[in-house]
Amino acid sequence: MSKRLIFLKNILSSWFMNLSVKKKLFFIYILGIFLPLFLSGIYFTNKLINTAKIQEKTHLLNSVDAIKDSFDKALEPITLVSHAIMADTAVYKFILVDYNEQKNYFQVHSDYLRPTLEKYVAGFSSIGTILVYVDNPTIGVSAGYISLNNVNRNSIWYSKLNTNKKDSIVIKYTETDLRTSMVLADTCSYFRYMTNQSVPNSNEIILRMDIQISKLEALVENLPLRGFINLSDSFGNSIVSWDSGNISPNDTSLTKIVKKIDFANGMTLEFNISADVPSISESFSLKNYIFVTFLSILATLVFILILSFSVTSRIHMLSTHIRKVEKGDYTPININMDAKDEIGILIKDFNLMTERINILINQVYKAELEHNELRLTQKQAELETLLSQINPHFLNNVLESIRMRSLIKDEFETADIILKLSRIFRRMLLWDRDLIPLEEELNFTKEYLDIQKYRFDDKLEFSINENFTPKKWYIPRITLQVLVENACIHGIEKLKSCGVINIVAEELDDILNLVVEDNGLGFNTTNLTYGIGLSNLKQRLELYYKSRGSMNIDSSETNGTKVTIKIPKGQFYG
């Protein structure tokens, strides 16, 4: 076994040993019992569902093919009749003759032309009416034969047929020729140009055969299917449609199939269907299996939890009392039941041990511990006495003495600076609250700048511009003082010319805008790192205002430094 495998084995073994008993029982149940049964069940269930889906799809395709065949058979006589009429050369000869006298045409029509069409209409129930349009005005309008006029040439069927004169078309349209019917109704007809090599001619002859839609509708009645079926003509117009009812077109259980009808060019039969009865794949799905499996393992899981609780609860109780022993509490474990298993025996031994330790401690060590604790208390009191002698107010008293002597000597400027220094020192010592009014922060900053101006003399000028509602805004303590101090030390101190510090505190709607700007020596902000003061200020702003507050630093080596702080309204007030 390689070193890597040995190392991995040791890691897994250590990890498993560190697990609680409750988790070990749970892992045994999950990995040893539940997971193998669950995965094998999913495998065989999925195989069964996939097999059922294949069988159901095959059955559905067979049903679709059967329906298509029934439509093909219903429309097949129209194709056969059209071929028979087109092959009859006598028809061409009679309808292409110019009849000077109507009686001659009526004689031919009565003896041959009309009987030729009527025998086909009578022989096939799917054929409604047969009409032959002829570019011959002498035949007029007679049963089965009609002259081609401008109304026909302007109709939709004529324009569709002329796009490809060699193909036949089926189209559902509204009849516009009143010679064929007194009612302009929807009609579904089969059209094709009639040609015969035995009878050459330049006249247009168009064969029209009306389809009995009721015969087609009967083909899709009482189908053992669910969904939608639509028979459309060569141009997408619906001829026959079937809807089983209460089914959405977006139902995922429906299968979409498109079949081309052999009868005419472009005629299609569209299916969006499924079996009438629920499929095996729907009634026996993976979700159902998972749900049943969950219910079946629930009882076992409850039993595992009860068993785990009977073990882990007492182990936890024993662990808790052991930690109490570490803190000096030797209270025995009080349990109502007298358990005789291994954990029960361990608890009894623990109680006996704590009882003996408690007696030993009370007799030997407790007195010594009390003595040592008393000595430690005495030393702590001595230390606190020494520390109390070093009182920060001592420095305030010294500064006050220096100020008074300066006043006596008429050194008023020095006395004023010492007073301001004393106030600043007292304010730093008495940090009773972190959020203070903006006015107080500005006063403190002004005193600090007065001290710096005393230090730099004519080398420093400053201004404070205020535009805000008093007693409205509270900001973190020494926010401005940190920025001013950085401006003096890092920007103004090394400047040879006069340094200027401008402070702006303005209220813009619900935002307080604080700006500290100086003309001192700037720095490159590309790799900016915050010092202790700025880092502390940035953390405090993030603590109070989260992402609603901001601090932006804009600096260059020639134009000085500008720090802008934005504080939102309505979150922290004094």
Question: Mean pLDDT highest for which of 117-121, 303-307, 358-362?
Answer: 117-121
User: What is the β-pairing status of strands 145-147 and 127-134?
Assistant: parallel
Top-confidence residue, 250 or 461: 461
Rg (CA), the chain: 52
Sequential DSSP letters for 473-510: -EEETTHHHHHHHHIIIIIITT-SS-EEEEEEEEEETT
Q: What is the pLDDT of residue 42?
A: 75
CATH fold group of domain 452-568: Heat Shock Protein 90 (3.30.565)
Residue with more model confidence, 533 or 72? 72
Q: Is the pLDDT of residue 394 over 50?
A: no
Q: Is there a contact between 497 and 478 (Cβ–Cβ < 8 Å)?
A: no
pLDDT tens digits for 11-55? 766 666 666 666 766 777 777 777 777 777 777 777 777 787 788
Amino acid at 341: D
Contact 221, 241 (CB under 8 A): no
The tokens for 215 are: 């015969």
Q: Is 350 helix (H, G, I), strand (E, B) or coil?
A: helix
Q: Which helix (H) or strand (E) holds 461?
A: strand 460-467
298 C-beta neighbours (distance < 10 Å), count: 10
Residue 276's pLDDT band (cuts 50, 70, 90): low
Please check whether residue 442 is in contact with residue 480, taking contact to mean a CB–CB distance below 8 angstroms: yes
How confident is the model at residue 573, as a pLDDT?
Answer: 47
- Which is nearest to 285 in space by CA: 519, 79, 61, 46? 46
3-state secondary structure of 255: strand
Query: Helix or strand or coil: residue 548?
Result: helix
**Mean pLDDT computed over 396-425:** 62
The per-residue pLDDT for 387 is 40
First to last CA, the chain: 69
pLDDT at 165: 83
Phi-psi map region of 263: left, alpha, beta (phi>0 left; psi -120 to 50 alpha)? alpha
Residue 493, both tokens: 């101190």
Q: Is the dihedral of CA 8, 9, 14, 19 positive or negative?
A: positive
Write down the domain spans for the chain: 60-284, 286-375, 452-568
Helix axes of 479-486 and 532-545: crossing angle, nearest 10 degrees: 150
Instruction: Calculate the average pLDDT of the chain.
Output: 78
Residue 362: the pLDDT is 72
- Stretch 106-112: mean pLDDT: 86
pLDDT at 339 over 70: no
Is the pLDDT at 545 greater than 70? The verdict is yes
**Is residue 181 very low, low, confident or very high in pLDDT (cuts 50, 70, 90)?**
confident
